[in-house]
Amino acid sequence: MPSLTTQEIAKLLTPFLPAPPEGLPEKLALYLELLLKWNARTNLTAIRTPAEIVTRHFGESLFTAQILPPTQTLLDYGTGAGFPGLPIALLRPDIKVTLAESQNKKVSFLREAVRTLNIPVEIWAKRVEDMPPAQRYDTVTLRAVDAMVPAIQGAEPRAKNDLVILTSQSGAKEIPTLPSFAPAQTTPMPQSEDRIIVTFKRTGSEQPTAGSQ
Nearest to 158 by CA among 191, 192, 128: 128
The b/e string for 79-100 (b: 16+ C-beta within 10 A; e otherwise) is bbbbbbbbbbbbbbeebbbbbb
Q: Is 121 annotated as a binding-site member? A: no
Nearest to 164 by CA among 133, 136, 200, 190: 200
Q: Is 8 annotated as a binding-site member? A: no
Q: Is 211 annotated as a binding-site member? A: no
Q: Is 109 annotated as a binding-site member? A: no
Distance CA(104)–CA(198), nearest Å, equals 29
Distance CA(173)–CA(38), nearest Å, equals 33
Phi-psi region of 138 (alpha: psi -120 to 50; beta: other; left: phi over 0): alpha
Distance CA(180)–CA(131), nearest Å, equals 21
Distances (CA, A) of 119 to 40, 85, 171: 24, 12, 32
Q: Is 128 annotated as a binding-site member? A: yes
Distance CA(154)–CA(175), nearest Å, equals 13
Binding region for S-adenosyl-L-methionine: 78, 83, 128-129, 143
Binding region: 78, 83, 128-129, 143
